[in-house]
Structure 1
Amino acid sequence: MKTTIANKEIEQAALDVLVVGLPEHPENLERWDSLNDLFGGRLLDWVKEGDVSTDLKAVTKLPAASGTAVKRVLFIGLGPAKKLTDQILLEVFAKAGKELKGRKAENVSIWADSFTTDTLEADDTAFAAIQGMLLGSYQFDDYKTTSNEKDFCFAEIELISTADEDELKAAAEVGRVHAEAVNSARTLVNTPPNILTAVKMAEHAEQLAERYDFELEVLGKEEMEELGMGAILAVNKGSVEEPRLIVLKYAGGNEDWTDVVGLVGKGITYDTGGYSLKPKDGMVGMKGDMGGAAAVFGAMQIIGELRPKKNVIAVIASTDNMVSGDAFKPDDVITSLSGKTIEVLNTDAEGRLVLADAVTYAKQSGADCLIDVATLTGGVIVALGKDKTGALTNDEAFFESFMEASLETGEFVWRLPLTENDKKRLRTSDVADLNNSPGRDGHMIFGGGFVGEFAGDTPWIHLDIAGTSEAGAPHNLGPKGATGVMSRTLATFIERLAEEEPDAE
């Protein structure tokens, strides 16, 4: 996609569609007269009569007057300008992206200055415009043989503004990077499990490593057995597919590989529940049980593009959880990479097992702080609904810093408590150090708290995205299906940490 910045008159916009933001009082826009002239001076009357709406996200499509380069105009309402935030602006442009995709408008001009306010500047608009349009127009390439529709993508987006061209270009580029990474994560989650196996997930990591010069390490079953990764190997026992532990290292900070942030993702490519078998309706959609891995891959794509000055290691534990004569079962006792033993009470609590070994490996590889991301429990949906990511932590300052990134991206995160009594229940077993399922009460807390047992004293945040990883219907930033949640927040957090470094420019 080509992005251009142009300081020119509105009537010179010559691409397929001109996108204009209409606040509650559009006559106060700086170049209102030029816009009004495109419609023979009648636009304000149409606004007053309700034919063109300024209500938030309301869309009106009109052909422009003859004699100008403008072919047609898509107005999108902004409501009261003083209430417009950067998150709302992102949703506005996502709505525009959906509309333009429906019209197959691949070449678009945006009058960027019509979206600016006293608190939102032109670079905010550029960032939101490119990111929102790409998120809103996302589609998954399905496997239907009867469709004749070609895949949609924007060929050119032109931003018309009087603001500094270099600043707008930089902001638009960051918006593009964020959106493309989220869409890549979405595609991973949407891919069927017979196609996206652990081996294929490792191949995706290889592509990222080659593109961004990451250091790559991929451990197969034999290497895991040599190291003693009994937790992930137990989950894999029932499968005919090889497991993979995927490690990507980005050396953007100091050269001695210290002060390293570890990002750990659950990569269960399909989850039957094992011998603690899910009901048939509960099994549908379990191709998305690798949403945590997708989020980490998305974050690493952003990091690879923007090159923040921070050392980052990403660890993905990937396998499916199947049923066979060899599958692990309730009452088994397994030994994790850390040496801790685990009594298996529920084979459907497998995500925390693979994360246990992945977190341990991240620590052994130099991670000084950890964030794990997983579609871990149905309990988080019961507690918080489907629009909030649940969190646990063992470090207040670390979590508060992360929350600033969450607020910046608008990806809602809510912390739940993890008490000593919760930890005591996780450590209750007659035969092992830990049990993997103390009960249904406090389900999300016990799931994440189990992972915390392997983080130990290392500053750690657990993110349960079981509710937010997929949307059951079209939403503000995209279509039904995978959302790519947490890719932007994880990367933004790394960028913020890099900016805080003493030698950061």
Structure 2
Amino acid sequence: MEFSTKSASPEKQKTACLVIGIFAGKAPGAIATRLIEASAGLLGKILDRGDLEAKAGSTLLLASLPGVAAERVLLVSYGKPEEFNDAAFRSAATAAGKVLAGLKASDAFVTLADVELAGRDAAWLASQTTQILADSAYKYEATLSKKSEEKRGVAKVTLGFASRPDASIEAAAIQGQAIASGLALARELGNLPANICTPSYLADTAKKLAKEFKSLKVEVFDEAGIAKLGMGAFQAVAQGSREPARFIVLQYNGAKSKKDKPVVLVGKGLTFDSGGISLKPGAGMDEMKFDMCGSASVLGTLRAVAELALPINVVGLIPSTENMPGGSAVKPGDVVTSLSGQTIEIINTDAEGRLILSDALTYAERFAPECVIDIATLTGACVVALGNFTSGVLGNDDALARELVDAGTTAGDRAWQLPLFDEYQDLIKSNFADMVNSCGRPAGTITAACFLSRFTKAYKWAHLDIAGTAWKSGNEKGATGRPVALLTRFLIQRAGV
């Protein structure tokens, strides 16, 4: 989807679809009022009889509205003026995106961002609009035998404003489009089945990114390389699978100096998680292909960062493997030695994500990082605590955690900080090793983070548990791409652009 910005009279735009936002009530908004006048009151009559529902995100598609040059006019409700907030705006943009994605039309003139929203400027509105519209156009077809033959969905979108958009608005629209590109990559990787999206496939994807963007440099360690590094915890998880493990190091050097300390992103890359010997229940196990969404978000974020050419250094680390049962699989009660030299008693082989992350977090030390953020579909306990709307944040630096929470709020990809008090550390004690990898259900998200914290003492660190937000189940089953938007916004702010 191609985006541009323009100042123009909406009623005069010759476009396949004109999109305008409408406030419920007697004051529909400035742009809507112009169209009411242009249509000699016809649009006003349509609104008065209640054809457009008042709820934010409701839509009504009109064809050949008199006095308006556009072939179609899509009315989108902002809801009641007194209830207009970030969520209402996103609902309107999402609804518009879904309609535009299904239209047999080539272009659209969208005025949704030309509205006043408390606490938000035009740049934020433009960024959110482009991101949401482009993300709405994503469609999974990779493994379908018959692809869609009929072309639907607009290819060109012009963001319309009453006054001439300044450089900040244009830059924000570009940011939104880049974030959507990252989301599309993360969603596609997450949606691919585990027999296609293997550790090697993730490594190949990283290589393709490095080929596309010269600012990226990639190094991939095979199983022999992983063993040579001394990643005993990572190896323990990988040893039960016939699919070769990979450790992917993707570096982006965008800062003026290569000596600038990088932000390191560590993504859990379990391309399929059976639970190992601690086998998961069969119901819903197909969704364990999504257990690599942390790694997908790292690749998606680095794509967005490279596309934007942000002046910052970023490193992506992805330990990737399957977790399978078998004669060579790690067993409950086994003790392994991590890259850090610390020993781990594996109580539950289904608590494998923290094992592969532990070695990657230790590896991160060699970059002398500004900070390290790991992203993982780590615990079902996080779903219990925060549901499917909010990612969990924990870490050893409260300022970093708050920075991530704030970035998520700005991006519409929200997260919430959970405590990591010292008292919880006692719960992962072991009689046979330095720690256990699992200690039961109580405070499961926190104790998992306690485990990871044992490997992050050399730097500022935050952990994003995305178990509840990385994908959707049911009729809308599929990867969401989260938290690409949060991470990219965090890096944009860190880069100061």
Sort the TM-score into its range (normalised by shorter chain). over 0.9
Q: Paired residue for 1:490?
A: 487
For 1:91-106, what aligned pairs fall within 5 Å after superposition?
91-106=91-106
Give the secondary structure class of the aligned counterpart of 1:461: strand
In 2, are the aligned partners of 1:3 and 1:156 still within 8 Å (CA)?
yes
Q: Paired residue for 2:47?
A: 47
Are 2:387 and 1:390 aligned? no
Q: Paired residue for 1:15?
A: 15
Give the secondary structure class of the aligned counterpart of 2:91: helix
Q: Could you tell me which of 294, 306, 309 is aligned with 1:307?
A: 309
**Aligned-pair CA distance for 1:80:** 3.0
Give the secondary structure class of the aligned counterpart of 2:455: helix
**Aligned-pair CA distance for 1:281:** 0.9
**Aligned-pair CA distance for 1:104:** 3.2
Q: What is the distance in 1 between the residues matched to 2:253 and 2:113? A: 39
Q: Could you tell me which of 401, 405, 408 is aligned with 1:406?
A: 408
Q: Mean alpha-carbon deviation: is it higher for 417-426 or for 267-276?
A: 417-426
Q: In the superposition, relative to structure 1, how do residues 98 and 28 fare at CA in structure 2: closer, same or farther (>3 Å)?
A: closer
In 2, are the aligned partners of 1:47 and 1:54 still within 8 Å (CA)?
no
Q: In the superposition, relative to structure 1, how do residues 449 and 176 fare at CA in structure 2: closer, same or farther (>3 Å)?
A: same
**Aligned-pair CA distance for 1:383:** 1.9
Are 2:379 and 1:377 aligned? yes
In 2, are the aligned partners of 1:386 and 1:468 still within 8 Å (CA)?
yes
Q: What is the distance in 2 between the residues matched to 1:151 and 1:273? A: 41
For 1:87-486, what aligned pairs fall within 5 Å after superposition?
87-112=87-112, 115-117=115-117, 120-146=120-146, 148-150=148-150, 152-167=152-167, 168-212=169-213, 213-253=215-255, 255-426=257-428, 428-472=429-473, 480-486=477-483
Q: What is the distance in 2 between the residues matched to 1:12 and 1:481? A: 40
| Structure 2 unpaired stretches of 5+ | none
TM-superposition CA deviations, 1:320-372 (whole Å, max 9, x none): 01122111111111111111111111111110000001111111233242111
**Aligned-pair CA distance for 1:147:** 5.5
Give the secondary structure class of the aligned counterpart of 2:75: strand
TM-superposition CA deviations, 1:262-309 (whole Å, max 9, x none): 111000000011111111114221000001111111211121122222
Q: In the superposition, relative to structure 1, how do residues 318 and 26 fare at CA in structure 2: closer, same or farther (>3 Å)?
A: farther
Q: What is the distance in 1 between the residues matched to 2:105 and 2:378? A: 39
Q: Mean alpha-carbon deviation: is it higher for 338-347 or for 99-108?
A: 99-108
Q: What is the distance in 2 between the residues matched to 1:371 and 1:112? A: 34
Give the secondary structure class of the aligned counterpart of 2:339: coil
In 2, are the aligned partners of 1:93 and 1:136 still within 8 Å (CA)?
no
Q: What is the distance in 2 between the residues matched to 1:31 and 1:268? A: 49
Give the secondary structure class of the aligned counterpart of 1:455: coil
Q: What is the distance in 2 between the residues matched to 1:337 and 1:313? A: 19
Q: What is the distance in 2 between the residues matched to 1:68 and 1:498? A: 43
**Aligned-pair CA distance for 1:38:** 4.7
Q: In the superposition, relative to structure 1, how do residues 122 and 282 fare at CA in structure 2: closer, same or farther (>3 Å)?
A: closer
Q: TM-score, normalised by structure 2?
A: 0.93
Q: What is the distance in 2 between the residues matched to 1:364 and 1:395? A: 20
Q: In the superposition, relative to structure 1, how do residues 312 and 113 fare at CA in structure 2: closer, same or farther (>3 Å)?
A: closer
Q: What is the distance in 2 between the residues matched to 1:195 and 1:164? A: 47
Q: Paired residue for 1:84?
A: 84
TM-superposition CA deviations, 1:359-400 (whole Å, max 9, x none): 111112332421111001111112222222112111112222
In 2, are the aligned partners of 1:82 and 1:117 still within 8 Å (CA)?
no
Q: Mean alpha-carbon deviation: is it higher for 294-303 or for 9-18?
A: 9-18
Point out 4+ residue stretches in structure 1 off by more than 6 angstroms: none
Q: What is the distance in 2 between the residues matched to 1:223 and 1:49? A: 69
Q: What is the distance in 1 between the residues matched to 2:369 and 2:152? A: 40
Q: Paired residue for 1:70?
A: 70
Among the aligned pairs, what percent are the same residue? 36
In 1, are the aligned partners of 2:114 and 2:162 still within 8 Å (CA)?
no
Q: In the superposition, relative to structure 1, how do residues 71 and 256 fare at CA in structure 2: closer, same or farther (>3 Å)?
A: closer
Give the secondary structure class of the aligned counterpart of 2:47: helix
TM-superposition CA deviations, 1:54-91 (whole Å, max 9, x none): 43111111113357531111100112335433443233
In 1, are the aligned partners of 2:304 and 2:488 still within 8 Å (CA)?
yes
Q: What is the distance in 2 between the residues matched to 1:238 and 1:350? A: 12
Amino acid corresponding to residue 311 of structure 1 in structure 2: N
In 2, are the aligned partners of 1:392 and 1:449 still within 8 Å (CA)?
no
Q: Mean alpha-carbon deviation: is it higher for 286-295 or for 205-214?
A: 205-214
In 1, are the aligned partners of 2:35 and 2:68 still within 8 Å (CA)?
no
In 1, are the aligned partners of 2:331 and 2:349 still within 8 Å (CA)?
yes
Q: What is the distance in 1 between the residues matched to 2:199 and 2:31? A: 55
| Structure 1 unpaired stretches of 5+ | 500-504
Q: What is the distance in 1 between the residues matched to 2:112 and 2:462? A: 38
Give the secondary structure class of the aligned counterpart of 1:285: helix
In 2, are the aligned partners of 1:90 and 1:131 still within 8 Å (CA)?
no
Q: What is the distance in 2 between the residues matched to 1:324 and 1:28? A: 64
**Aligned-pair CA distance for 1:148:** 4.5
Q: In the superposition, relative to structure 1, how do residues 176 and 355 fare at CA in structure 2: closer, same or farther (>3 Å)?
A: same
**Aligned-pair CA distance for 1:179:** 1.3
Q: Paired residue for 1:502?
A: none
Amino acid corresponding to residue 464 of structure 1 in structure 2: D
In 1, are the aligned partners of 2:393 and 2:401 still within 8 Å (CA)?
no
In 1, are the aligned partners of 2:9 and 2:162 still within 8 Å (CA)?
no
Q: In the superposition, relative to structure 1, how do residues 254 and 52 fare at CA in structure 2: closer, same or farther (>3 Å)?
A: closer
Q: Mean alpha-carbon deviation: is it higher for 63-72 or for 89-98?
A: 63-72
Give the secondary structure class of the aligned counterpart of 2:185: helix
Q: TM-score, normalised by structure 1?
A: 0.92
Question: How many residues of Structure 1 are paired with residues of Structure 2 in the alignment?
Answer: 495
RMSD: 2.2
Q: In the superposition, relative to structure 1, how do residues 21 and 219 fare at CA in structure 2: closer, same or farther (>3 Å)?
A: same
**Aligned-pair CA distance for 1:37:** 4.4
**Aligned-pair CA distance for 1:217:** 1.3
Q: Mean alpha-carbon deviation: is it higher for 135-144 or for 334-343?
A: 135-144
Q: Paired residue for 1:35?
A: 35
Amino acid corresponding to residue 154 of structure 1 in structure 2: V
Q: What is the distance in 1 between the residues matched to 2:337 and 2:359? A: 10
In 1, are the aligned partners of 2:323 and 2:352 still within 8 Å (CA)?
yes
Q: What is the distance in 2 between the residues matched to 1:128 and 1:252? A: 24
**Aligned-pair CA distance for 1:204:** 0.8
